[in-house]
Amino acid sequence: MLKDKKIFTKETILSYVYLITGCFLFAIGDVMFVNPYHLAPGGVYGLANVFNALWGWKISLAGVCMDIPLLIIGTIILGPKFGVKTVISVILIPVFTFILETHWGYAPVIYDPPFFDAHMQSSLFFMDGTVQRYFMPDFFLNTVVAGLIYGVAIGIIFRSGATSGGSDIIAMIAHKYTKISLGTLVLIVDSIISLTTLVAFEDIRLPIYSIILIFIESKIIDLVVEGVKSYKTAFIVTDKIDEVREFIIHDLDRSGTVFAGSGLYQGAERKMLYVTLNRSDLVKLKSNLRFLDPNAFVNVIESSEIMGNGFKSLPQE
């Protein structure tokens, strides 16, 4: 008989800590950095920021009013693809956002003091209670910091096994009925949301900085989810397969796979070795191949994610 699975394992508890932390960081990034600068880096909360600046709607209320219907519609059309953690993230993000809106407001963290009056053409405004206050923005620094916070937040949410829902669901639904790739559709949806800042505020800087924020965010998400390690996969065609094999096993302390094949031109039987290495080990391999087999043919490709023995563990259920 199969043993009952433990519910409260260390990994499970850690994943929920990641989820809560990621949702809280997302709320900080949105309320304190993205919203005061009238940016809309895609997603439901990007659109909620525009609604807040135009009509004073609370970000949390606008966000949850869009997120929950999208989650329901997505479940009906796509099936039960969204797990419990995604539902929790859809609830936690507006809760944390509401807390920050209530106790912090929409004041920017990064700006050039002092506050300026409404006649300053380069100034921006935020709502301080019922009063509009103006400030001199530092777009570049704020965009970089906001991208870092957003990237870490969403990366942690992804590592917990959840998604942030929102506009991604729109892209997934469109993907079901079109031949356009999911990545392209996500980019299209987020770009349209970013362009709403140009229509709403007639300031070309806002969509540009929003897109820069999205780029920074995506790079940080990759770092958080995949880590800083960089791996390369090498395909080595060599007549000295035993010598190369010995070097990889004993000097690099790595393993690999040997494939048998034949040359396309002469039809001679050849062997090819497949091995995945980190950067430093690849440098050692290339340096020694000239002595092991000067006639070896090597093809090196980037490996975005490696799972299995000796690398990252396979995901748990």
Beta strands per DSSP E along the chain: 124-128, 131-135, 231-238, 257-262, 269-278, 297-303
Q: What is the pLDDT of residue 115?
A: 55
Backbone phi, psi, residue 139, to 5°: -60, -45
Listed by start position, the domains of the chain span 10-226, 231-303
Residue in 223, 193, 224, 222 with CA at minimum distance from that of residue 210? 193
Q: What does the buried/exposed string (b/e) look like for 29-58 if buried means 16 or more CB atoms within 10 Å of the residue's CB?
A: bbbbbbbbbbbbbbbbbbbbbbbbbeeebb
| β partners of residue 180 | none
Residue 266 C-alpha from the chain's centroid: 47
Query: How far is 309 from 167, CA to CA, in rounded Å?
Result: 36
Report the percent of the chain where pLDDT is more than 90: 37
Under CATH, which number does the domain 231-303 receive?
Answer: 3.30.70.120
Residue in 204, 199, 201, 175 with CA at minimum distance from that of residue 187? 175
Over its length of 317 residues, how does the chain's per-residue pLDDT go in tens digits? 444 455 668 888 998 999 999 999 999 999 999 999 999 998 999 999 999 989 989 999 999 999 999 989 988 888 877 778 889 999 999 999 999 999 999 999 998 765 545 455 567 877 776 677 788 889 999 999 999 999 999 989 988 888 777 777 888 888 888 878 766 787 888 889 999 999 999 999 999 999 999 999 988 988 887 776 678 899 999 888 899 999 899 888 888 888 887 777 777 788 889 998 887 788 888 888 888 888 888 898 887 667 776 666 666 55
Q: What is the pLDDT of residue 281?
A: 84
Query: How far is 136 from 143, CA to CA, in rounded Å?
Result: 14
Query: How far is 94 from 170, CA to CA, in rounded Å?
Result: 19
Q: Are 262 and 270 in contact (CB under 8 A)?
A: yes
Identity (one letter) of the amino acid at 100? L
Other CB atoms within 10 A of residue 9 CB: 11
